[in-house]
């Protein structure tokens, strides 16, 4: 696919700051990363409910849901995974510019890709949440039956089995979901947002 050279950036009439002022809150991304079955989507959606109850405009981008539409042309090769995360980074930036809080639940296995998304945003706009859970526990849960399929050779390039997961080096928040309940996990994130005066 060739890139067009006939495009020009068009400045918008409303700034991110004005939208934040109207909404009454900061805008940022909470980037949930971790193995399949670790609890990313569950925790992200519960945080979204808590924020909604506080009248904070937010939206959850879930890895599986996105692959039904925006990224349905992508597979699970390393290159496709990279493109998957690059697109979500750009979508997240649009949400932040619109004054919203965006919660993303993606395995996003590669450090380089998560760092790329961080580099797209300002320093106070990216919160990496490592949903840490031992592989054995994720396999025990196996809510979608994917680990068994990967073990049986029915799924190629499966993170944690036949494809690597690179743990975050310095995430803003680490939550061990084999040790904490969903409610306790959510409270850790809400506490962090309050501490930073984001909410």
The reply, when asked if residue 40 is annotated as ligand binding, is: yes
Do 147 and 48 meet the contact criterion of CB atoms below 8 Å apart? no
* Catalytic residue annotation: 108
Query: How far is it, in rounded angstroms, from Cα 79 to Cα 139?
Result: 25
Do 68 and 142 meet the contact criterion of CB atoms below 8 Å apart? no
The reply, when asked if residue 37 is annotated as ligand binding, is: yes
The reply, when asked if residue 34 is annotated as ligand binding, is: yes
Cα distances (Å, whole numbers) of residue 37 to 19, 21, 46, 120, 198 = 35, 37, 16, 28, 28
The reply, when asked if residue 39 is annotated as ligand binding, is: yes
The reply, when asked if residue 24 is annotated as ligand binding, is: no
Burial class (CB in 10 A: 0-12, 13-18, 19+), 45: middle
Query: How far is it, in rounded angstroms, from Cα 91 to Cα 107?
Result: 17
The reply, when asked if residue 185 is annotated as ligand binding, is: no
The reply, when asked if residue 154 is annotated as ligand binding, is: no
Q: 110 by DSSP, 3-state: which? A: coil
Residue numbers belonging to the annotated binding site: 34-41
Residue numbers belonging to the annotated binding site for ATP: 34-41
């Amino acid at each position: 696919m060739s890139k067009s050279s006939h495009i020009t950036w068009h400045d918008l009439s409303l700034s991110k700051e004005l939208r934040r002022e109207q909404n009454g809150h900061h805008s940022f991304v909470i980037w949930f990363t971790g193995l399949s079955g670790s609890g990313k989507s569950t925790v992200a959606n519960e945080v979204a409910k808590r924020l909604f109850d506080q009248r904070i405009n937010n939206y959850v981008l879930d890895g599986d849901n996105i692959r039904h539409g925006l990224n349905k042309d992508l597979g699970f090769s390393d290159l496709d995974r990279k493109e998957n995360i690059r697109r979500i980074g750009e979508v997240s930036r649009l949400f932040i510019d619109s004054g919203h809080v965006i919660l993303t639940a993606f395995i996003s296995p590669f450090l380089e890709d998560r760092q790329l998304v961080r580099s797209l945003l300002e320093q106070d706009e990216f919160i990496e949440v490592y949903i840490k859970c031992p592989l054995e526990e994720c396999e025990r849960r196996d809510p979608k039956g994917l680990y068994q399929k990967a073990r049986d050779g029915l799924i190629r390039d499966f993170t944690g089995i036949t494809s690597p997961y690179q743990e975050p080096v310095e995430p803003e928040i680490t939550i061990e979901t084999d040790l904490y309940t969903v409610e306790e996990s959510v409270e850790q994130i809400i506490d962090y947002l309050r501490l930073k005066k984001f909410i």
